[in-house]
Every structure is written in C-alpha cells, then in structure tokens.
Structure 1
Amino acid sequence: MLETSKNTLDPSDWNAFRLQGHRMLDDMMDYLEHQRDQPVWQPMPEEVRLSFRQALDDGQHDLESAHQLFMKDVLPYALGNVHPGFMGWVHGGGTPIGMLAEMLAAGLNANLGGRDQAPIEIERQVVQWTRELFKFPETASGLFVTGTSMANLIGVLIARTALLGVGVRHEGITAGNRQLIAYTSANAHVSIVQAMDIAGFGSNALRTIPVDERYQMDIAALELAVAEDRKAGMTPFFIAGTVGTVGVGAIDNLHSIAELCERENIWFHVDGAYGALAMLAPDIAPRLQGIERADSIAFDFHKWGQVPYDAGFILVRDGELHQSAFASPADYLKRESRGMAAGSPWPCDFGPDLSRGFRALKTWFTLKVYGAEKLGQVISNTCTLAQHMKRRIEAEPLLELLAPVALNIVCFRYRSADANRINADIVIALQESGIAAPSTTTLNGQLAIRAAIVNHRTTANDIDALINAALELGKIASKNTPQAQP
C-alpha cells in the first residue's frame, strides 16, 4: 500500500466523506427544487449575525457539523437571487447544471493562468463561440474575468494602448503631455467611472453625456462634446455605449456611436453587462445593431446567461493589440514548444490575473447542455414578462410607469402625495414580506420601484404577486397620507 502523507487534508475515510458529500449535494438540489416554498429574502437575526464574529479556533470540527451550520445560518439568509420572486438587481438565477459544473471545476482545481492543459482549451472554445455570436473576426481575443466591472477596466487599458502605443506601459499616460478624454451615458454603470479612476486618467477625464426621453445617450450631445474637447486641445480616445442600462434597461444607439468612433478614430467599447447576450434572442438581437462594430464588448454570463457567479467576459476585436496591452514576459512564465509550458499565448497574456479559476467550465456546460436557442428563449421570455408587468401597471389607476420598458427592467411607483417616501416603504415591506424583492432607483427626482426580471424561473404569477402586494402595501403605507389624483 502506498504511503499517505501525515499532513494530507484528504479524508481518512473516503466512504464516509462520500456519503456526507451526497447529503450536501442533495440538500442543495432540494433548495433549488423547492425555492417557491421559501421566502425570497428574510432578515438575518442578530444572534446569527453575531455568530459570524467568532475568533478563529482550532478548526477541529467535522464536516457534518460545518454543513449543518451552513444549512441553519447561511442558506436561509442568502440574498435570494435564485428565487423566482427576486427582481431587485440584475442578478442571474444560476442553474443546477452550472452548480454541478462548478463542483467539477473545484475538484479539478485548475489554474487557468497558463500552461498546456485542456481547461484552457475549454476557455478558448467559449471565446470562439462569442466571436461567432457577435460576428467578430477569428483574430479577436476573449477572456473570462470576475465581471463586467473588470472587463470595462480592461477595455479602457486596451484603448489606452491603442492610442499611445505599447510604450505607455513603461512611460505612463502622462508621457507626451496629452490629456485623454472618455465618454459615456449619464445612465452608464459606475464601473466606467471606476475604470477611468483605476487606469490613472481620473474620473474628471470622463464626460457623462445626457440622455434623451428613452434614456439613450444623446448622440448630438456626444458629437458636440467630442468636438469641443478636440477644439480645447484634448484627445478623445474612448466611448462606452451601453446595452441595458442599469437603471431602466435602455440600449444606446450603437450604430450611431460606431459611426462617430470610426470617423473620429476613437475606441468603441460596449458595456453589455447583461444586455449583450440579447444577441441570443432572435426577436431582440436586431435592436443591438452596431454591436458587431465595437472594438471591445464587456458582458456577464452570470446575468442573462444564467451561469453561476462569477463569469464575466471581455471580447476584443484586435487580439494582437489585446495581448500587447498585458503580456509580461518573466523567467517563471517561459514558453516552450513542447511540454507543460507549451500552448502559448496563455490567458495571463490578456489580462492582469495570473491565478485564474476555471470559470469557463460552468459556462461551457451551460451552453452545451441548454444550447443557444434555449438560452435565447429564456432572455426573450424575461422581456415578455416585463411587458406583462407594464400592462398590469398601466391598468391600475394607483400605479404609474416611470420609464419606457426597453428590455426586462420595469420602473414604476405607487401614486401618493408623498410618493418618494411611500414607495421606499413599499419596497422595504415587499422585501421583508418574502413575496417579492424589487429594488429602487431615482428617475427625474422620483423614487421608482424597480423590477429587473432576469431569473429563468420567474413566471407571470410572480409578476402578479409583486404588483398585487405593492398595491396592498401602498394602501397601508399611505393610509394616513392624502392621495394624489390618478
């Protein structure tokens, strides 16, 4: 019998461990199967919160005990985005398939920074699929990252390199004394601001362009801002269009932005955090016309793609430029034509991470098992449900729609003389009821109840439950407040 290390962390009894592992897997499957029997969300008792403040002990607890603590103190108080009634933020619902794939990836424990290994081929397969989806050339590159926030930062850094050359990595962005300026919608995600900050340009170098009545970036205002900055001696270098704004789900006019970027030699980036995958839905994809002309696209498989967190992605038209923006030769990263150090270029040549998890596997499983057509149907259905919610709101005199329903986000409010306070109270009451979990946003100074329909489990009954509960809670919250006229 082969000797086992005295310091191994493997179980001493594999059969007992296997049985416990099956119990844990069964518990999670039960949790997913019976979501509707549970509240969407519930407040965490203070004693449970305090139980996570304990000092580090000797760690000598058996797996079963740790599992029971998870079932008792963690699972009941999760955010609830797997629940069909969760509509608070743009969070994907995940799938049992993705859960199993994540288990396989964890067991394999692959580091996808580099080396010649099959997991990297899985990631390259997904890169190929995204190239096909967005009609990018075969020379385009792609990379899994934590989420669109990181992907947006990578897009800014590649655009910087495209304009200033690879030397910017050594000389810095102040070399040549040029002030680079970027542009995005006033309704764009805060990660664009963060990207400019982290990249060293500063948030003041980002122009936020006003939006029109459909909450799309005003193209005339964008063109004027670019012209004025050039006249002032500045250098426009980056424009981020949005597909599915975080507030209302608006889609910027990508075709017009592409035309401007081509004419002015500006990098065209698309923040498609959740909206870009609408390309999978034939009835919605035409509304993304122009996305195929982007220089880079950032999006998340863990939102509309229903892949478990996290699985962000960036696709870059010019793969060679992408690599030149990040590749960092080092002795310990030496490449060979044979052996484990073959297979160059590696994923670490396209982003800041050398240690990288196997995010591609759960994405690959999701696409393989469900297929593009089924995922497209899920995306289309969430938009259909949003239209159902819109009709319900328009049919209720006490409710008011506050923004166009472009995709799957619906913003509305309960009519009241003190509407901002009343609607804030309604949202908290809805969340604490466990019936449904919307969030809030502010549109033109008005606080809105915001429902983001992303989960593949959500049905029209869940929409109706939210509307009915909002009406009831609105009546209670405004009982002592004079009502505005409908």
Structure 2
Amino acid sequence: MHTDPPLDPDWDEFRALGKRIVDEMADHLAGIRDQPVWQPVPDTVRAGFTTPLPTGGRPMDEVYEEFRATILPFPRGNIHPRFWGWANGSGVPVAALGDLLASLINCTLGSGGNAAMMVEEQVVEWLKEAMGWPATGSGVLTSGASMGQLTALAAARQACGAADVRGEGAVLGGVQYTVYGSVETHHSVEKAVELLGIGRRFLRLVPVDDAHRIEIGALRRTIRADRAAGLRPLCVVGNAGTVNTGAVDPLDQLGALARREGMWFHVDGAFGAFARLVPSHRPLLAGLAEADSLVLDLHKWLYMPFDVSCLLTRETGVLEAAFRSGADYIAPTEQGPSAYPVAFSDRGVEQSRRFRALKVWFALKTHGADAFAEALAENLAQTAHLARLIEADDRLELVSRGDLNVVCFRYVRPGADARELDRINRTVLGRLQTRGLAMPSHTRIRGAFVLRVAHHNHRSEPADFDFLVDQVRRLGDLAVRDGGS
C-alpha cells in the first residue's frame, strides 16, 4: 500500500496554507506604506529565538502564525517606500513567485542538462545584451558582488599571471601581484585580495578627485613605482557607482590604461551598472563594456529579491581556466544529463548552486526590460528632486551629490562646530530610524557624519522625499533644542 513520504505534508493542508500565505503577503505588500519602515525587536520576541532545537513537530499553520507574530513585523525594511539605506533593492513581487517555484522544483545548477541550466544561460545572455557586452563573453550568477569580486580576481590571476597558481600556489617564483582601485573601492575587493593570498598590503587604494573619482595620474604613478620595485601589477578595479557617493570612475580611461599596462580591467558595477538601461546615463558608463570582467547586483538596482548577482567576463573560457575541476562522479558522459556541455560549477567556487535565475527570468518575462528602465529613470529623477529640496533649505547642507542615485546631506546650524554637527545628525538619524519614519543610512564625507540616501526603491514617490526633508529639519531643530542628545 502506498504511503506518503514522512516529510511531505498533507497536500490539502499545504494547498490551503499556500493560498493563505499568498493572499496575506499580497495584502501586506499592498499596505506596506502604512507600516513603520523599521522597528526594534522587543525583548519578549527576541527571547523566542533562543529556544532549543525542536524535537517534535507542530502544524504548519501554527508555525506560520509564529512567523506573522515574530518575524514579519520586524524586517530590515527595504521593501518599504521610504527605505533608502545602504544598497538594498526593494524586491519585485512577481520575482518572489519565481523564487517559490525554484524552491519547489529544487534544482541545483552546478552542471547537468535540464531546463533550469538553460534558464540561467538565457538570463546571462540577457544581461550581456543589457550591458552591451560582447556576444562571445561568458558569465555566471552569484550570491552577490563579494563572490563576484573574488571570482573575477581569481580569473584575472589565472589569465594574466606569471605563475602556475592553481598547481603550485600563490608564491611560486616569488611573484607578488598588486591590485589597484580608488579609496572609494568596496571592501569586498579587500576581502578578495586577502582570500586569494595577494594580501591587503598589496591592494593600492588611490586618491580620488573632488567628485570622488579615481585620480588617473596618481594611479599611473603608483603602477610605475610598483613595477620599479619588482612587483607584478595585475588588475585595475573601476567603480561604476561607489557605495559611499555613487561616483563613477572614468571607465574608458581606466580601460585604456589597463590595456597599455597589460593588466586586467575589472569593473565593480554592483551598485550602478544598471543605469546603462537609461539612455541619458549611457555616456556616463562609457567604457563599461570594454572591461575584462564586470560585477552587477540584480538585488540592488534591478529590484530583485535577495540574492542574485552576476559576473560577466569578456572572454569565453577564462572562468573555466580558473575554476574547472574534475572527479569521477562529475565526469562528462556521452548521453544523459552529464553530457550537457555547460557546467556553471566550472565558472566559480560553488558546486551546489541554487536556482537564482528563475526569479529574474520570471520578472523580465512579466515586466520587460523597458519597465525596469523606466523605474530606474524615476529613481534618478527623484534623487535629483531630493537634492533640489536640500539646496533650497538653509538648515540643510548638500554634502555630496553622486553621478547616480546617491545623495549625502546633513542638518546644519550657524556657529556649530564639526563635533556638534556630528552629534546632531547622529540624533536625527537615530530618531528617523527607530521611530520608523524613514531609513537613510550614514557615512562620512571628508570627515563629516552625513545622512546617506541611496535610492534603489521602485515604490518611492516624490512625496516621500518631501516627507524626509521635513522630518530631518524638524528632528534637527529638536536636537538643537535638547542639546543633540
């Protein structure tokens, strides 16, 4: 007699709960504007996350009710229309359905012939087309830019290196590589040079100009000095949107320099590469498609649910040269799934890979690229609107206005010294966040503590930025009155 597997549910109960979850989450998203952007987790709720391992089960609907009570009200907040912190996308709802389907069919995309592999191939091709990338290039989806930077630099070391790093190790023949980027380069590049054995000491962080873009002259001098010292310059990293300010390095100049020097040119476009979808911003990103490798995060400015990023390479085969491995149990066969010619596990670190591509495929098929380009253009227009509001207010100072979607500003008052202004703006930020009003993040620009708005949100409206400015002015006035505490 047939019996259900022990970990499969009662299908009628599963079906009913699934319908309920979709209905209630649709209501939640439709009403998200009426919720706090963020709120702290109460101690009573926090205590529930310290209980021992469950040994016995509970009904699915009870577990879902616990989720509704203890997790749903206390998220990071990035699906809210007034969330502009760090570099978090807002999440396209239809893509979440793709994620659900990916989990249900539960494919792993290391290798093997199946439709899921073909979906990732298609999504990579679409991203190449969107970036103006060579048709002969290659690519792989990753968890995020951090894995992309590591993968790209490993490919650079294999392609440009003077040593058999894979076979003999990083110090063969005493070769010491150096990597170059601006002082605004993301810290994931620092992690990558550490993990690859190049060493943080040999990551050259070059000064930037007044617009926070890398100084080409200083870069040339640094490379020249390293060659004279017997070092091996390996890679130049250009920023297509820095996290701090949204600045875009002169990518065409960096690419030309890298070619002259015989170096790999990598572009970190995790933050801003998708601005290329907006015709007005394509000239700003000139040179992006000339890079040897490019990282772009779809869960930032393409609004996809976490996590999905992409690494593109200009030449086919460079990823496989750096990562291909073999074992009897994954060797190709003449027929069956193992006969498939593509293995994404040979393009990076991961053998087990989740089906990230389906949510992207689902969203792009549903909405089309033009709809995403329109959303990006709206973000850019709203960022410009915010900058104008700040410049028109004598109690606010526009500290930095990036090339893309980042505005850094602060509350000011005449006669206040730097320390007092920092204290006031910390208070303003804390109250904005903990009261659930809005979620900018913070950084330091030329030593000053500032509020940082990074706009990757498809739900925001101009009125949200009017509200932000009003609240910063109001909370700043209160902070001055109560001494900034």
Report the AA paired with residue 426 of structure 2: A
Structure 1 unaligned blocks of 5 or more: none
Q: Does 1:203 align with 2:200?
A: yes
Given the superposition, is the C-alpha separation of residues 89 and 406 from structure 1 closer, same or farther in structure 2, using an over 3 Å criterion?
Answer: same
Find the aligned partners of 1:319 and 1:204 in 2 and give their Cα distance.
Answer: 31
Find the aligned partners of 2:316 and 2:330 in 1 and give their Cα distance.
Answer: 20
Find the aligned partners of 1:331 and 1:294 in 2 and give their Cα distance.
Answer: 36
Aligned counterpart, 1:125: 122
Q: Displacement, 1:213?
A: 0.4
Find the aligned partners of 1:223 and 1:466 in 2 and give their Cα distance.
Answer: 42
Aligned counterpart, 2:167: 170
SS of residue paired to 1:173: coil
Identify which of 249, 253, 256 aligns with 1:256: 253
Report the AA paired with residue 3 of structure 1: H
Find the aligned partners of 2:267 and 2:56 in 1 and give their Cα distance.
Answer: 47
Deviations 1:238-278 (A, max 9, x none): 11101110101000000010010010010000001120111
Aligned counterpart, 1:344: 341
Aligned counterpart, 2:55: 58
**Aligned 8 A contact 1:385 1:459 in 2:** yes
Q: Does 1:465 align with 2:467?
A: yes
Find the aligned partners of 2:293 and 2:226 in 1 and give their Cα distance.
Answer: 23
Aligned counterpart, 2:430: 428
Find the aligned partners of 1:340 and 1:166 in 2 and give their Cα distance.
Answer: 35
Q: Does 1:449 align with 2:451?
A: yes
Find the aligned partners of 2:202 and 2:173 in 1 and give their Cα distance.
Answer: 17
Aligned counterpart, 1:37: 34
Deviations 1:105-131 (A, max 9, x none): 111100011111000000000111122
Find the aligned partners of 1:408 and 1:337 in 2 and give their Cα distance.
Answer: 50
**1:260-339, aligned counterparts within 5 Å?**
260-339=257-336
TM-score w.r.t. length of structure 1: 0.97
Find the aligned partners of 1:301 and 1:407 in 2 and give their Cα distance.
Answer: 16
**Aligned 8 A contact 1:387 1:405 in 2:** no
SS of residue paired to 2:362: helix
**Aligned 8 A contact 1:400 1:414 in 2:** yes
Deviations 1:271-303 (A, max 9, x none): 011201111111112210000110000111111
**Aligned 8 A contact 2:162 2:175 in 1:** no
Q: Does 1:360 align with 2:362?
A: no
Identify which of 369, 382, 395 aligns with 1:372: 369
Aligned counterpart, 2:17: 20
Find the aligned partners of 1:269 and 1:187 in 2 and give their Cα distance.
Answer: 15
Find the aligned partners of 2:361 and 2:57 in 1 and give their Cα distance.
Answer: 37
**Aligned 8 A contact 1:386 1:453 in 2:** yes
- Across the aligned residues of Structure 1 and Structure 2, the Cα RMSD in angstroms comes to 1.3
Find the aligned partners of 2:50 and 2:480 in 1 and give their Cα distance.
Answer: 39
Q: Displacement, 1:404?
A: 2.5
Q: Does 1:9 align with 2:7?
A: yes
Q: Does 1:405 align with 2:402?
A: yes
Aligned counterpart, 1:72: 69
Q: Does 1:144 align with 2:115?
A: no
**1:475-486, aligned counterparts within 5 Å?**
475-481=477-483
SS of residue paired to 1:116: coil
Q: Displacement, 1:88?
A: 1.1
Q: Displacement, 1:16?
A: 2.1
Given the superposition, is the C-alpha separation of residues 48 and 422 from structure 1 closer, same or farther in structure 2, using an over 3 Å criterion?
Answer: same
Report the AA paired with residue 388 of structure 1: H
Q: Displacement, 1:480?
A: 4.4
**Aligned 8 A contact 1:166 1:324 in 2:** no
Q: Displacement, 1:372?
A: 1.2
SS of residue paired to 2:339: coil
Aligned counterpart, 2:243: 246
Q: Displacement, 1:481?
A: 4.5
Report the AA paired with residue 9 of structure 1: L
Find the aligned partners of 1:166 and 1:225 in 2 and give their Cα distance.
Answer: 23
Q: Does 1:112 align with 2:114?
A: no
SS of residue paired to 1:245: coil
**Aligned 8 A contact 2:409 2:452 in 1:** yes
Find the aligned partners of 2:12 and 2:474 in 1 and give their Cα distance.
Answer: 53
Find the aligned partners of 1:110 and 1:58 in 2 and give their Cα distance.
Answer: 28
SS of residue paired to 1:52: helix
Q: Displacement, 1:85?
A: 0.4
SS of residue paired to 1:403: strand
Find the aligned partners of 2:334 and 2:367 in 1 and give their Cα distance.
Answer: 37
**Aligned 8 A contact 1:284 1:380 in 2:** no
Q: Displacement, 1:383?
A: 1.1
Find the aligned partners of 2:364 and 2:221 in 1 and give their Cα distance.
Answer: 42
Aligned counterpart, 1:89: 86
Q: Displacement, 1:452?
A: 1.0
Aligned counterpart, 1:159: 156
Q: Displacement, 1:234?
A: 0.9
Aligned counterpart, 1:185: 182
Aligned counterpart, 1:395: 392
**Aligned 8 A contact 1:271 1:297 in 2:** yes
Report the AA paired with residue 51 of structure 2: Q
SS of residue paired to 2:279: coil
Identify which of 211, 220, 229 aligns with 2:226: 229
Q: Displacement, 1:428?
A: 0.8
Report the AA paired with residue 21 of structure 1: G
Find the aligned partners of 1:3 and 1:109 in 2 and give their Cα distance.
Answer: 24
Q: Displacement, 1:57?
A: 2.2
What's the % identity of the aligned pairs?
Answer: 39
Deviations 1:123-150 (A, max 9, x none): 0001111222223223211101100010
Q: Displacement, 1:380?
A: 1.4
Report the AA paired with residue 186 of structure 1: V
Identify which of 187, 191, 211 aligns with 1:214: 211
Deviations 1:34-69 (A, max 9, x none): 111101001110111111000112231110111001
Q: Displacement, 1:337?
A: 3.0
